[in-house]
Structure formats: C-alpha cells, structure tokens
A and B are shown apart, each in its own frame.
Chain A
Amino acid sequence: AQSVTQPDIHITVSEGASLELRCNYSYGATPYLFWYVQSPGQGLQLLLKYFSGDTLVQGIKGFEAEFKRSQSSFNLRKPSVHWSDAAEYFCAVGADGQNFVFGPGTRLSVLP
C-alpha cells in the first residue's frame, strides 16, 4: 500500500539555525514528490516538487529537498530558519494515474 511517513510530529529550532524535515515513502510506482507548507490559519502552499532529473530541487522561500531513491526519502532542508517559517509542513507523493498520498505533517516552531 502507498504510504508517506514524516517521523517528526513537532520540531523546534532557533531562528537562524538549519532545518531538516524528514519524509519517507512507500510507493509501488515511480513517484512524484512534493512538499507543502501551511501557515497558521491558511491554506496549503506548494514549496517544491520533484518529477525527474536532478535529485536536488530548489523551492520557494529558500527551501530545498533531495530525493534519494535508495532510501525512499525526500527530506526538506533550509540553511537558516526565519521566524516566519513556523508552520506545518506536509510531504506528499503521487504517480501517474494514482491517488495523491499525504504524510501526517510536521509542525515547526521557531524560537527567537
């Protein structure tokens, strides 16, 4: 069965520190991979996506993610976190003709 795990329910980092949010998937087909962000009281915004090619993808707001097929992972990174990055982050997986599957989300808190 298709599944997406985000092992960290809640992460707290200090402003200016680096960030890595983990995402692992189990998917029978070649996946397309996404990260979404949801700020408090807002809808979901796409941060970045991986379809093919370079396994390191750049997104908006200074985020990047690396696809590692051997580890079935698509971890999200940011070198220096800003207070405005406090939000909930969702990893998602899709494939041709397949249902989208979302992970349970990771809530990020940022300390001043």
Chain B
Amino acid sequence: EAQVTQNPRYLITVTGKKLTVTCSQNMNHEYMSWYRQDPGLGLRQIYYSMNVEVTDKGDVPEGYKVSRKEKRNFPLILESPSPNQTSLYFCASSFIWTGVFTEAFFGQGTRLTVV
C-alpha cells in the first residue's frame, strides 16, 4: 500500500531533550516536506527536499533540522526543543516532475508536546 509513515504519532518531551520524528514513504517520490499546524495558522512549511541531499528552508525553519540521505526517508530533528514547538506535524511527499506530477501525499501526523 502506498503510504507516508510518520513516527511517533504522539510524543511528550521536555525542553532541551533532542528528538527526531521520522518520515518514510514507499512511493519513490523525489519531493518530501515537513509542515507544522497550529490553531488558526494553517499549514506552515518547515523544510522541504527536492531530492536526495537537496533540502531547503520553508517558512518556519528556526529550531529544526532535516536530512535527506535516502530517497524514502526525511527525518525532522529538534536539537533543543522548546515549548513553542508544541504542535501537530505533518510529513508529505510527491512526484514533482513533468509526466509524473502527482498530489502531495500526507502522513497521519505527529502531535508533539514540549513541556
């Protein structure tokens, strides 16, 4: 089954404790992206990646890191989480090139609470 898988689905952590949210897709998509969703603010893009080893900042990259060492994986790293990073996070992936362009496929979301 084609899917984008995020883990964990729920996470409560303490300020300053490094964490990683994983995202994996099994559709061989070049494009992957991370978003955070907060009440009244819609989806805000954190980072995106056009292909392996190619990443770029979105609208709200501060406090986050990403890496794209393999095509299928795009982990989101919070080196020193703070309470203002408490949010709902979504990972997405897609084909974005001529002839194969598709919609963005989303993971189920990760609800992160930083206390």
Contacts and interface: CB of A to CB of B under 8 A. Distances in A.
B23 interface: no
A34 B104 CA distance: 9
Interface in B96-115: 96-98, 101, 103-104, 106-109
Given A43-B90, A103-B42, A105-B43, A94 B104 contact: yes
A96 B31 CA distance: 11
Interface residues of B, number: 24
Contacts, number: 53
Q: Is the interface of B mostly helix, strand, loop or mixed?
A: strand
Interface stretch (A20-28, A44-52, A65-73, A79-87): A44-52
- Interface-centre pick from B43, B56, B94 (highest chain A CB count, 10 A): B43
A68 to B, nearest CB: 20
B109 A43 contact: yes
B48 interface: yes
A99 B90 contact: no
Interface in B33-63: 33, 35, 41-43, 45, 48, 50, 56, 58
Contacts of A99: 31, 33, 45, 48, 50, 56, 58
Interface of A: 32, 34, 43-44, 46, 49, 51, 90, 92, 94, 96-100, 102-105
Interface of B: 31, 33, 35, 41-43, 45, 48, 50, 56, 58, 90, 92, 94, 96-98, 101, 103-104, 106-109
Which 10 residue pairs across A and B have the least CB separation, nearest first? A104-B42, A105-B42, A44-B106, A102-B43, A96-B98, A43-B108, A46-B103, A100-B104, A49-B103, A34-B103
